[in-house]
Amino acid sequence: DTAVSQTPKYLVTQMGNDKSIKCEQNLGHDTMYWYKQDSKKFLKIMFSYNNKELIINETVPNRFSPKSPDKAHLNLHINSLELGDSAVYFCASSQVKAGAYYGYTFGSGTRLTVV
Partner 1 sequence: DQQVKQNSPSLSVQEGRISILNCDYTNSMFDYFLWYKKYPAEGPTFLISISSIKDKNEDGRFTVFLNKSAKHLSLHIVPSQPGDSAVYFCAVGRSNDYKLSFGAGTTVTVRA
Per CB under 8 A, residues contacting partner 1 are 4, 31, 33, 35, 40-45, 48, 50, 55-56, 90, 92, 94, 97-109
Backbone angles phi, psi at 99, to 5 degrees: 85, -30
CA nearest 75: which of 5, 2, 27? 5
- Give the shortest CB-68-to-partner 1 separation in angstroms: 14
- Give the shortest CB-61-to-partner 1 separation in angstroms: 19
- Whichever of 25 and 81 has its CB closer to partner 1, that residue is 25
- Give the shortest CB-64-to-partner 1 separation in angstroms: 17
- Whichever of 70 and 101 has its CB closer to partner 1, that residue is 101
- Give the shortest CB-48-to-partner 1 separation in angstroms: 5
- Whichever of 81 and 90 has its CB closer to partner 1, that residue is 90
What is the C-alpha separation between 48 and 24, in angstroms, rounded?
14
